[in-house]
Structure 1
Amino acid sequence: MISHSEQPLRRLLDPSYPLCREDVLWALGFIKKKVADGAPEWSGLDRPQLLAHFACFADMALLLLHRRSPSSQETACFRAMLGEFLPRDLN
């Protein structure tokens, strides 16, 4: 069963769904809250994985500040990071 908070994630993970500014803002806020709450999905990640996720998070935040659209590589990285928050059987 997909929780209420996971429904927008499912949409954002769809490669055919174009990311817009509001979606990225929502996702960055969601990630920030989950990490601050000690999300078990990320508690087992090693340091290189955490740093990669941080770099992706920072890249998307900077894109918003500069009002630039993400490249396909940046979008793929962001979607992969968001996928970490979904249960493995729904990914």
Structure 2
Amino acid sequence: MHESHGPLLGSPKRLDQIFDPKHILCRDDLLWVLHYVQKKVAQKDPALLELPTPRLMRNFQYFGEAAVLLLSRSSAQGLDNERIRVCLLEAMHGLVQDSETEAAPRRNDYS
């Protein structure tokens, strides 16, 4: 397993970095979030089980969009960091405390 995807023990620090608007997102950031969400789903995290079905579908929509952005991203240039950040935030909805992601922009124009 790649080191950046390793134990999620440093999650709050990594999340703070990823959702800091000043931080320029990289491929490893996208991979880390996708892996984080995948692990939470595989573990049947109670926070996810409490979400209503429409919200789960929205999480899945943004998870898929983040994955497609990762696959189509040939370099760190060309994609809007804010758009990617919104996708990642929405994909993790319910899995992280609002205080961990309050630096992230709250926009819903990508639905």
How many residues were matched structurally? 89
2:91 maps to what in 1?
Answer: 81
Stretch moving more, 21-30 or 75-84: 75-84
- Aligned partners of 2:71 and 2:36: how far apart in 1? 18
Q: Does 1:61 align with 2:33?
A: no
Q: Does 1:19 align with 2:25?
A: yes
Point out where structure 1 has 5 or more consecutive residues left out of the alignment. none
Q: 1:50 aligns with which of 50, 56, 60?
A: 56
- Aligned partners of 1:13 and 1:62: how far apart in 2? 19
TM-score calculated relative to the size of structure 2: 0.65
| Distance of aligned partners of 1:74 and 1:22 in 2 relative to their CA distance in 1, 3 Å threshold | closer
| Distance of aligned partners of 1:72 and 1:5 in 2 relative to their CA distance in 1, 3 Å threshold | closer
Stretch moving more, 63-72 or 11-20: 63-72
Deviation at 1:88, TM superposition (A): 5.0
| Distance of aligned partners of 1:36 and 1:21 in 2 relative to their CA distance in 1, 3 Å threshold | same
TM-score calculated relative to the size of structure 1: 0.77
Point out where structure 2 has 5 or more consecutive residues left out of the alignment. 1-8, 102-111
Deviation at 1:70, TM superposition (A): 4.7
CA RMSD of aligned residues (A): 2.3
